[in-house]
Amino acid sequence: MNLDKLKHQESGNFFLMAGPCAIEGEEIALRIAERIVSITDKLQIPYIFKGSFKKANRSRIDSFTGIGDEKALRILEKVGKEFDVPTVTDIHESTDAEMAAAYVDVLQIPAFLCRQTDLLVAAARTGKFVNVKKGQFLSAGSMKFAVDKIKESGNENVILTDRGNTFGYQDLIVDFRGIPEMREFNVPVVMDCTHSLQQPNQSSGVTGGKPALIETIAKAAIAVGTDGLFIETHPDPKNAKSDGANMLHLDLLEDLMTKLVKVRKAII
């Protein structure tokens, strides 16, 4: 992938990072990828398959964390090769960086870890693209320092992703002023349309969400000039092993993308 291509698509479209929250198994990962690839090819949307090989940030100790690191990473590798698409997964510790980089194209830094210098440097040193989620506790302008850490470690391939801000208790809100502000750092900026609708740390210990507002967040993000969108999607969100409460049903993705392409064309 070329950074300039992410910012200035020949099709004029945004790019899409999408897939399940977590890698649950090979069959379902391939099924989700095949469906999304058919949609993005049809609409000329550059696509990056997303799947977490491990879920480290869980509310409860009995929450699903993964099917095994190497097993999940090999599935990500297979998706990338079979559909000829780049892949992204999140890492949580410095030691994850080199391991995950052997299988995927983009390393993602979770929002809660976006200030962890050792983690950012380790990701940067792999030479892979590094997608940094903006901390829920940070202003858009503060993300300049995350960008600087990666670039000063010798890697220019940085992406920033907004995923909402903490707003009171157990809720998030999106400040769309942050998208143009972070684009001033001369890196592609992505809007996470699903995690920004989370309702964290509910009384049950399971995160809630407002998936009915995914289209609203996505339309607004495109309208203010985001370079890409991040959407977690699943054919059966109610039974997804992680973050099902705020995921988009896979059957709704094509209609949403069709609308968003029209919004994009209207503003360029």
The pTM of the full predicted model, rounded to 2 decimals, is: 0.92
Annotation: CATH topology of 3-267: TIM Barrel (3.20.20)
Question: Sign of dihedral through CA atoms 257, 191, 25, 65?
Answer: negative
80 residue type, one letter: G
Q: Could you tell me whether strands 208-209 and 198-199 are parallel, antiparallel, or unpaired per DSSP bridges? A: antiparallel
| Locus of tokens 């929002």 | 111
Instruction: Give Cα separations from 44 to 60, 229, 251 (angstroms).
Output: 40, 14, 19
For 242, phi then psi, to 5°, come to -155, 135
User: In sequence order, what are the beta bridge partners of 17?
Assistant: 48, 230
pLDDT at position 203: 47
Percent of the chain with pLDDT over 70: 92
pLDDT tens for 136-174 read: 999 999 999 999 999 999 999 999 999 999 887 778 899
Q: Within 10 Å of residue 50's Cβ, how many Cβ atoms?
A: 28
What are the residue ranges of helices labelled H in 44-116? Answer: 69-83, 94-101
| Locus of tokens 């999304």 | 36
Domain ranges of the chain: 3-267
